[in-house]
Chains A and B, each alone.
Chain A
Amino acid sequence: MHWNTGYQEEALPLLARFVAQFKGAEAVVVPSSSCVAMMRDHYPKMAEQLNDAALKHDVEELLPKVFEFSEFLTKRLGLEDVGAYYPHRVTYHASCHGLRNLGLGDGPLRLLKAVRGIDLVELQGLEQCCGFGGTFAVKNAEVSSAMLAEKTTAILNTKAEACTACDNSCLMHIQGALHRQRTGVQTVHLAEILASDEGTR
């Protein structure tokens, strides 16, 4: 958030902290494509800026072990069917960072297609931005709302019970409007769907 809004100075200490916390982990799995994109796209440059050779080395070692949740399953573990059961009508929104920065491709969709009982319906304009954009949602609230309106219209047109994505920022944003309009449509993170089985309500 800091880095993307232009507060680079404030963002730098957070890099060091992240590295300190997660250094030595076998894998760091992040249920947010925008966070992973931030790290992959900007951490190396930030470490350069800090002129800290040790930190730079740590970042280089750590980054290959950081995975967005869906890519951890599909790319690192080579999984598609995780044995989930989710008997609901669901539509998938492709978060911008996951789509364009991380190149998740059809990974999330393949994971969803393998879910038993799911009624997966395609979202028109699934690649179009939901309008969150971090502080953009507040600094340019009007435009953000207009973008969100197109997204929720498309979701409602699918008649899905729930909209899913790999990014909680998008989901929080979309949920904000779906709830305000009392549509009864939920948002649910991909992980929640994949964690569901017959025992889940």
Chain B
Amino acid sequence: MSGTALDPRTAPVFPMAARAAMGDTQLRKNVRHATDVIQAKRARVVGEMPDWQELRESGRRIRQHTMEHLDVYLEQFEENCTRAGGVVHWARDAAEARRIIVDLVKATGSDEVIKIKSMTTEEIQLNKALEAAGIHPFETDLAELIIQLGEDQPSHIVVPALHKNRQQIREIFQRKMNLPDLGEKPQDLADAARMFLREKFLRVKTGVSGANFLIAETGGVCVVESEGNGRMCLTLPETLITVAGIDKVVPRFQDLEVLLQLLPRSATGERMNPYNSIWTGVNAADGPKAFHIVLMDNARTEILADEEGRQTLNCIRCGACQNACPVYRQTGGHAYGSVYAGPIGAILTPQLMEMEHAQSLPYASSLCGACYEVCPVKINIPEVLIHLRNKVVEQNGIMNAEALAMRAMGIIFQSERRFRAAQRMGRLAESPLVRKDGQGQGWIGWLPGLLGGWTQVRDLQSMPEETFRDWWEKRGKNGR
């Protein structure tokens, strides 16, 4: 896998990318295994909760309510965070966010930063901007470390390196950490990462993080993690810079009682993840002396403005939809050409691109609904997919083969006469392609053009000699 950032602006269309991904046996095996494991864990801990559906409903309402009043909650957060000693910055888009963060790091005099995994920083391609400014970012999540040292890209929201197995990871660590005798057990690899990173935690003066939740009522920020590297980056450096999409805000401290139940059970199938950190502004005797937070829009307000797309912003980045998705299961995350992959990626990425890119993503779904079933905040992903498909169709206009075919079929379906005529024509058109089997049933093994996708691995029964209507009419009102 290449180290070029996943960028929806330049990624190949999903069917092409999927085809390439599916040729990687290793990837497919890992993805199947990982998603099976997390799904089973999730099912178990969700099954323990008699009030799971109520939690989901409250989760949905809290998020929906927040979006409806996003302006006041952001202002309230800003006021409370500032009062507690934090410095709040606003960014209209990714470029502005990058600029602010790079300037803040430069102002500290650091040429290194330690980073906690943050989808938002990947979304804005922050690392590239830091490197360009002569600042080296050290990723400290084990998976992100694996990705960074391996010059790769994340393939899952919660388990970004799930496409790698232990041998591949060991090989990367051996090379990049200079540990020729490194053992192969997962514990050996984790120990190696611990030593490698500990040195950085104790030394590097500037930390960069994302945020899971911004609490308007208190001005507090909450980070949810498993490994402890988050706590390291949030408490040990002198300066902490956090970047968060404006959709991360929640109204009150109490709302965490819902979200901190939904998130760990959905994301990693745990009753609670190992560490949650909540801090408010700056405390002279505890943690960084300086705290900056960048509130970023980057097209979220566009999504907010779309009544049917708005629910996309409910997302709490748990990744449960990816684990449940039968399409993701076959392709893994890279095929989606974006840091947000799977079902949420299929709706979020095109909208963040303001529908100018990633138009193939809303079609990367069979609309099975498994994602909606597991979404802790009840985003009706299939509904949003259909809505976005409509937007793509309107964008593409009528002058293309598919649109013309769809229109023609629509016209045929509207009239019984035309429908019967089409059936007769269909029987005629298919006849050269039909071969009868030993029982007189006709089968088609090859279809031309667009329809050829079907016959790659599937046969198609030929049309029946007698349609249902013919049969019905023959039998009359009383016949059998």
CB-based nearest A residue for B19: A142
Within 8 Å CB of A134, what residues of B?
Answer: 366-367
27 interchain pairs (CB within 8 A)? A5-B389, A6-B362, A6-B393, A7-B410, A10-B407, A10-B409, A17-B414, A100-B372, A128-B370, A129-B368, A131-B366, A132-B366, A133-B365, A140-B15, A140-B363, A141-B453, A141-B454, A143-B15, A143-B330, A145-B456, A147-B366, A148-B458, A149-B457, A172-B461, A175-B459, A175-B461, A177-B459
Residue interface bits B438-480, CB-to-A below 8 A is 1, else 0: 0000010100001101101111110000000000000000000
| A142 touches which of B15, B329, B389, B410 (Cβ 8 Å) | B15
CB-based nearest A residue for B369: A100
Task: List the 3 closest A-B pairs by CB distance, nearest first.
Answer: A133-B366, A176-B458, A6-B389
Within 8 Å CB of A147, what residues of B?
Answer: 326-327, 329-330, 366
Q: Compute how far the CA of A173 lies from the CA of B269 in the bound complex, rounded to whole angstroms.
A: 33
Q: Compute how far the CA of A14 lies from the CA of B363 in the bound complex, rounded to whole angstroms.
A: 22
Contact: A8 with B22, CB < 8 Å?
no
The reply on B81 being an interface residue by CB < 8 A is: no
In A14-29, which residues have CB < 8 Å from any B CB? 14, 17
The reply on A138 being an interface residue by CB < 8 A is: yes
Total A-B Cβ pairs within 8 A: 138
Contact: A180 with B458, CB < 8 Å?
yes
The reply on B18 being an interface residue by CB < 8 A is: yes
The reply on B127 being an interface residue by CB < 8 A is: no
Contact: A136 with B367, CB < 8 Å?
yes
CB-based nearest B residue for A13: B414
Residue interface bits B324-337, CB-to-A below 8 A is 1, else 0: 00110111000000
Q: How far is the CB of A170 from chain B (nearest CB, A)?
A: 10
Within 8 Å CB of B362, what residues of A?
Answer: 6
The A interface, classified by DSSP as helix, strand, loop or mixed, is helix
Q: Compute how far the CA of A18 lies from the CA of B330 in the bound complex, rounded to whole angstroms.
A: 37
Q: Compute how far the CA of A144 lies from the CA of B364 in the bound complex, rounded to whole angstroms.
A: 10
Contact: B453 with A10, CB < 8 Å?
no
Q: Compute how far the CA of A92 lies from the CA of B182 in the bound complex, rounded to whole angstroms.
A: 49
Q: Compute how far the CA of A14 lies from the CA of B392 in the bound complex, rounded to whole angstroms.
A: 21
Question: How many positions in chain B have a CB within 8 Å of any CB in the partner chain?
Answer: 48
CB-based nearest A residue for B437: A179
Within 8 Å CB of B391, what residues of A?
Answer: 6
CB-based nearest B residue for A37: B369
The reply on A158 being an interface residue by CB < 8 A is: no
Given the contacts A141-B454, A143-B327, A129 and B366 also touching, CB distance less than 8 Å: yes
Residue interface bits B371-392, CB-to-A below 8 A is 1, else 0: 0110000000001001011111
In B286-332, which residues have CB < 8 Å from any A CB? 326-327, 329-331
Most buried by A among B19, B389, B445: B389
Given the contacts A129-B366, A143-B18, A176-B459, A14 and B327 also touching, CB distance less than 8 Å: no
Within 8 Å CB of A127, what residues of B?
Answer: 370
Contact: A5 with B393, CB < 8 Å?
yes
In B380-439, which residues have CB < 8 Å from any A CB? 383, 386, 388-393, 403, 406-407, 409-410, 413-414
Measured CB to CB, the residues of A under 8 A from B are 1-8, 10-11, 13-14, 17, 41, 96-97, 100-101, 127-129, 131-149, 172-173, 175-177, 179-180
The reply on B14 being an interface residue by CB < 8 A is: yes
Contact: A139 with B389, CB < 8 Å?
no
The B interface, classified by DSSP as helix, strand, loop or mixed, is helix
Within 8 Å CB of B364, what residues of A?
Answer: 140, 143
Q: How far is the CB of B48 from chain A (nearest CB, A)?
A: 20
Contact: B370 with A137, CB < 8 Å?
no
Contact: B326 with A131, CB < 8 Å?
yes
Given the contacts A4-B389, A6-B390, A10-B407, A180 and B445 also touching, CB distance less than 8 Å: yes
Q: How far is the CB of B393 from chain A (nearest CB, A)?
A: 4
Q: Compute how far the CA of A14 lies from the CA of B413 in the bound complex, rounded to whole angstroms.
A: 7
CB-based nearest B residue for A11: B410
Within 8 Å CB of B459, what residues of A?
Answer: 175-177, 179-180
Within 8 Å CB of B450, what residues of A?
Answer: 138
Contact: B406 with A133, CB < 8 Å?
no
Contact: A7 with B367, CB < 8 Å?
no
Q: Compute how far the CA of A13 lies from the CA of B407 in the bound complex, rounded to whole angstroms.
A: 11
Contact: B403 with A180, CB < 8 Å?
no
Contact: A128 with B326, CB < 8 Å?
yes
Most buried by B among A1, A14, A136: A136
13 further contact pairs, Cβ within 8 A, besides A131-B366, A179-B461: A7-B403, A13-B410, A14-B413, A100-B370, A133-B368, A134-B366, A134-B367, A137-B453, A141-B15, A141-B453, A141-B454, A175-B459, A177-B457
Within 8 Å CB of B368, what residues of A?
Answer: 96, 100, 129, 133
| A139 touches which of B15, B326, B370, B406 (Cβ 8 Å) | B15
| B369 touches which of A96, A142, A143 (Cβ 8 Å) | A96
Q: How far is the CB of B403 from chain A (nearest CB, A)?
A: 7
Given the contacts A7-B403, A129-B370, A138 and B451 also touching, CB distance less than 8 Å: yes
Q: Compute how far the CA of A4 lies from the CA of B365 in the bound complex, rounded to whole angstroms.
A: 11
Given the contacts A96-B368, A133-B366, A176 and B460 also touching, CB distance less than 8 Å: yes
CB-based nearest B residue for A131: B366
Contact: B372 with A140, CB < 8 Å?
no
Within 8 Å CB of A3, what residues of B?
Answer: 386
Within 8 Å CB of A146, what residues of B?
Answer: 22, 330
Contact: B367 with A141, CB < 8 Å?
no
Within 8 Å CB of A128, what residues of B?
Answer: 326, 370
